[in-house]
């Protein structure tokens, strides 16, 4: 890869920049970043990551073979209007814009382009994102490998059909927040049963990491692993029974379905707003 242009210099752009440089996907001097107006933020990215920054789009796009769109979905129209004359059919466009379809990007660009649409999550900031990616038919085999390697610099990367991205958003896109919610509950309970906050936090975090590792490395299902540690009349059974009585599993299922449904309606309203179909 020769050069990368990143439009948007916020949290997701920084996570990607950091992951790509640390994992030697691209050299910092080959990365060019711009944002809307926050010069201080660009200065910070230059200083901390040694990337180039510019508000001159001719300079930004000159010789770029990959363009990352990392602005908020509401800024899509303004950005596409601004970049359409600089984007060429040889460039690979990688979007992390939630809810903006491959077709919408192509229509707003006004030309046929190779586009990847990714749904990472906030754990990209620590290299542990679960990222699902959909691509359009113009993406070549070579570009597919590039896209996979790119998102593997911030965690796990897997390809899905575009229509599955709303489900992905509900499951893993918003997923970290569900786990934070669980941690919150565990921390609150620790206080109530008399455990010191710092000790409780360490125990909770390690418990989550350990359980996740068990699910990842074991051939057994999560359900089987749970049953294996639930002895009749024991402590785990007493606890899990309360979760069952309160239909917590059903609540989690409804939570994920609601987030996936919201992703779908948000995508539809963005399409209406952008006047593309
Ligand atoms: N953060 C996450 O964990 C996460 C997870 C999944 C997906 N995403 C997706 O990633 C995208 C970016 O999210 P974020 O959290 O990084 O947002 P953010 O921190 O708010 O950053 C947005 C960036 O876009 C820039 N921008 C806005 N309008 C622009 C324009 N017209 N031209 C050029 N740059 C412009 C902003 O510049 P100024 O500061 O100058 O306004 C800012 O640098 C979103 O679409 C989101 O859906 C994020």
- pTM equals 0.94
Q: What percent of the chain has pLDDT over 70?
A: 100
Atom of ligand 1 nearest to the CA of 122: 3
Residue 64 and residue 5 in contact, taking contact as beta carbons nearer than 8 Å: yes
CB 121 within 8 A of CB 177: no
Distance, CA 74 to ligand 1 centroid (Å)?
Answer: 10
pLDDT > 70? residue 43: yes
Asked if the model's pLDDT at residue 273 lies above 90, the reply is no
**Contact (CB, 8 A) for 130 and 156:** yes
Tens digits of per-residue pLDDT, 187-204? 999 999 999 999 999 999
Tell me, what's the pLDDT at 48?
A: 98
**Residue pLDDT, tens place only, 148-168:** 999 999 999 999 999 999 999
Q: What would the two tokens of residue 274 be?
A: 């952008």
pLDDT of residue 270: 84
pLDDT tens track for 61-91: 999 999 999 999 999 999 999 999 999 999 9
> Measured in angstroms, how far is the CA atom of residue 211 from the centroid of ligand 1?
33
Q: Is ligand 1 within 6 A of the CB of residue 52?
A: no
Ligand 1 proximity of 197 Cβ (cutoff 6 Å): no
Q: What is the pLDDT of residue 277?
A: 60
Is residue 130 lining ligand 1, measured as CB closer than 6 Å?
Answer: no
Q: List, in sequence order, every beta strand (DSSP E) within the chain.
A: 4-7, 31-34, 52-53, 66-69, 92-95, 114-119, 129-135, 155-159
pLDDT band of residue 119 (cuts 50, 70, 90) is: very high
C-alpha span between 157 and 147 (Å, rounded) = 9
Q: How far is CA 38 from CA 18, 42, 222, in A?
A: 19, 7, 46
């Amino acid at each position: 890869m020769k050069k990368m242009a990143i439009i948007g210099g916020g949290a997701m752009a920084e996570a990607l920049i950091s992951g790509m440089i640390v994992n030697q996907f691209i050299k910092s001097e080959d990365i060019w970043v711009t944002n809307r107006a926050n010069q201080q933020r660009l200065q910070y990215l230059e200083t901390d990551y040694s990337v180039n920054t510019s508000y001159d789009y001719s300079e930004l796009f000159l010789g770029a073979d990959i363009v990352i769109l990392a602005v908020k979905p509401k800024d899509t129209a303004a950005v596409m209007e601004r970049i359409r004359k600089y984007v060429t059919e040889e460039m690979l466009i990688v979007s992390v814009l939630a809810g903006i379809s491959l077709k919408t990007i192509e229509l707003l660009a006004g030309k046929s382009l190779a586009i990847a649409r990714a749904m990472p999550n906030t754990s990209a900031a620590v290299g542990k994102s679960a990222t699902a990616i959909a691509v359009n038919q113009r993406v070549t085999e070579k570009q597919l490998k590039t896209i996979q390697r790119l998102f593997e610099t911030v965690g796990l990367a897997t390809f899905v059909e575009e229509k599955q991205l709303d489900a992905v958003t509900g499951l893993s896109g918003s997923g970290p927040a569900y786990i934070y919610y669980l941690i919150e509950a565990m921390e609150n309970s620790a206080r109530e049963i008399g455990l010191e906050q710092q000790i409780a936090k360490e125990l909770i975090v390690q418990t989550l990491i350990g359980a996740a590792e068990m699910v990842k490395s074991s051939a057994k299902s999560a359900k089987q692993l749970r049953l294996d540690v639930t002895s009749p009349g024991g402590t785990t059974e007493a606890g899990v029974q309360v979760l069952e009585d309160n239909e917590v599993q059903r609540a989690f299922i409804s939570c994920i379905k609601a987030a996936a449904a919201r992703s779908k309606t948000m995508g539809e309203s963005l399409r209406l707003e952008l006047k593309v179909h």
